[in-house]
Chain A
Amino acid sequence: MIYLDNAATTWPKPEDVGLAVQEALMRKGGNAGRGGHGAAMQMARLIHQTRVDLCTLFGTNDPTRVIFTQNATHALNLALFGLMRPGDHVITSSLEHNAVARPLYALGQRGVEVSEVPGVPGAEFDLAAYRKAFRSNTKLVVTLHASNVTGTMLPIREIGQIAHERGVYYLLDAAQTAGVFPIDMKRLPLDLLAFPGHKALLGPQGTGGLLINADLQLEPLIYGGTGSLSEEVRQPDFLPDALESGTLNGIGLAGLGAGVRYILTEGMDKIRVREQELCRKLWEGLKKIPGVKLYGNEQVERRAPIIAFNLGEMDSVELSYILEERAGIVARAGLHCASQAHRMIGTLDQGVVRFSPSHFTTAEEIDAALQTVRDLAQGLN
């Protein structure tokens, strides 16, 4: 199999991730915070180490503000439903994944006002329109960092600065960038950062989190046992307990910590440069194939490691199926849970095929993928 769907979930994982999961599962399986016995404390320390590692990666220094969730969608829901109240206003982009678009639609049904900043291919976020979108009741701006469809990145520094000038919080969805691009919470104007653990952070599925950088209070999404203040029926108001009810995925979080430490050791820049090299090879190779249409920014340095394309008028899901059938090339196709982004690039019917390599992908695998598309294109002509 040639796995080119790392934007959905990275695979393979570093060996240390598997070892950390095994170690936690087989040797440290207590329930963190539930009792002070040795097994519970072992697991608690593993989870805490992952909080500390994430702080190092994201330039923060308060592990209590790392809230673990099942995935980035869960983290985004926690932030959006935790912050927005009827009568509040939120601004978002036209590239959002359903992880943001659907919660905002649901909040809209409950009396939250939602504005979408327009965009067109090449100018995906209209900053002038954004400046005009603010209202007296605007509480939050939420955008993705990079599109999961095309990899195109939004100007998050400008977006955050403008939000802060207006006294508005900024929530960033880093689903496609956390672990690939540096995100320094101390230097970027971010208040909330949602990230998946199982993508470029190289952890297991079922892990993710929300970093809270601002002094703001979120209503919990779920209530329940935290292992703290057990004598009280009210939810603790301190972090992370306030927002982490129920047993955490400690086994997965041990693996996530190993993934983050792998990135810190290997160097994020080295990983990103490798992935960008592979993307450049893909882009240049696909560009030369008659009938191929590419989407997104041509500069691979300004894009998450994603190459979106179509071949003629062929349905993207069919193309993806044939790629797997012929050469074992595994790639996502269709609408990628982001209908607005497809509307913007004009692929709502056809969808796109998305190649997303990781730094483990080899040049030979990229060559094989290109040759297969080339052969298919020749067959069409």
Chain B
Amino acid sequence: MLYGKLKDYRALLTFPSLTEALGAERILDRSGCPFASIPTPRSLRSGCNTSLCLPLERKEIIDDLIDDGVVFTGVYEAREDGFAPLTW
């Protein structure tokens, strides 16, 4: 079941640690891309318990995060029936 901002922001990023998530937040902040920090969905929980979600149509910004050295454990599209690995 989708919850919180995940209902609107369907791109989900998971991280190995909170420090990585916070680093990603700073980059998204600077870019002006809307995002929200949410608890990592149970089915994806491994590493950091906090994930970030952002609008699917802004998924190209993930390249900027990678360029800035942010480490993810996963990038997903949140669907009603679950989380699908996201390509962009």
Contact = CB atoms under 8 A, between A and B. Distances in A.
Interface string B2-42: 00000000000000111110110110000000000111100
B22 A230 contact: no
Given A41-B37, A52-B26, A236 B17 contact: yes
A240 B17 CA distance: 8
A253 B36 CA distance: 25
B47 interface: yes
B25 A45 contact: yes
A68 B17 CA distance: 15
A33 B23 contact: no
Contacts of B22: 44-45, 48, 63
B23 A238 contact: no
B69 A62 contact: yes
Contacts of A227: 18, 49
A51 interface: yes
Nearest to A32: B18
Contact of A36 (B19, B20, B49): B49
B48 interface: yes
Nearest to B40: A36
Interface of B: 16-20, 22-23, 25-26, 37-40, 45-50, 69
Contacts of A350: none
Interface residues of A, number: 24
A229 interface: yes
A36 B37 contact: yes
Interface string A29-52: 000110110000100110010011
A238 B49 contact: no
Interface in A201-241: 227-231, 236, 238-241
A64 B47 CA distance: 14
Q: Is the interface of A mostly helix, strand, loop or mixed?
A: loop
A48 B17 CA distance: 12
A240 B49 contact: no
A61 interface: yes
B20 to A, nearest CB: 7
Given A36-B37, A36-B50, A228-B48, A44 B17 contact: no
Given A64-B19, A64-B20, A228-B48, 17 more contacts: A36-B37, A36-B38, A36-B39, A36-B40, A36-B50, A41-B37, A45-B25, A52-B26, A61-B69, A63-B22, A64-B23, A227-B18, A228-B16, A236-B17, A238-B17, A239-B17, A239-B19
Given A32-B18, A44-B18, A63 B50 contact: no
Nearest to B50: A36
Interface in A228-283: 228-231, 236, 238-241
B45 A231 contact: yes
Contacts of B18: 32-33, 44, 227-228, 241
Contacts of A62: 69
B19 A41 contact: no
10 closest Cβ contacts across the A-B interface? A48-B22, A36-B50, A36-B39, A33-B18, A64-B19, A238-B16, A241-B17, A228-B17, A238-B17, A228-B48
Contacts of B50: 36, 41
A240 B19 contact: yes
Nearest to B16: A238
A52 B48 CA distance: 19
Contacts of A45: 22, 25
Contacts of B40: 36
B67 to A, nearest CB: 12
Nearest to A37: B39
A377 B11 CA distance: 75
A289 to B, nearest CB: 53
A61 B20 CA distance: 13
A216 to B, nearest CB: 18
B30 to A, nearest CB: 12
A48 B38 contact: no
Interface in A127-175: none
Nearest to B45: A231
A229 B49 CA distance: 8
B66 to A, nearest CB: 14
Interface string A336-370: 00000000000000000000000000000000000
Contacts of B37: 36, 41
Nearest to A61: B69
